[in-house]
Amino acid sequence: MSGTLKGILINTSGVVQGVGFRYFVQRTACRYGLVGYVKNLPDSSVETYAEGEESTLKAFLDDVRIGPSYAHVSAVRVDWIGYKGKFKDFRIEL
pLDDT at 69: 95
Over residues 5-17, mean pLDDT: 98
Which of 27, 40, 77, 91 is flagged as catalytic? Answer: 40
Which tens digits make up the pLDDT trace of 18-34?
999 999 999 999 999 99
Q: pTM to 2 decimals?
A: 0.95
pLDDT at 1: 46
Which of 22, 65, 77, 91 is flagged as catalytic? Answer: 22
The residue type of 82 is G
For residue 22, indicate whether it is catalytic. Answer: yes
DSSP 13-35: EEE-SSSSHHHHHHHHHHHHT-E
DSSP state of 64: H
- Cα dihedral sign for 4, 77, 49, 68? negative
Which tens digits make up the pLDDT trace of 20-77?
999 999 999 999 999 999 999 999 999 999 999 999 999 999 999 999 999 999 999 9
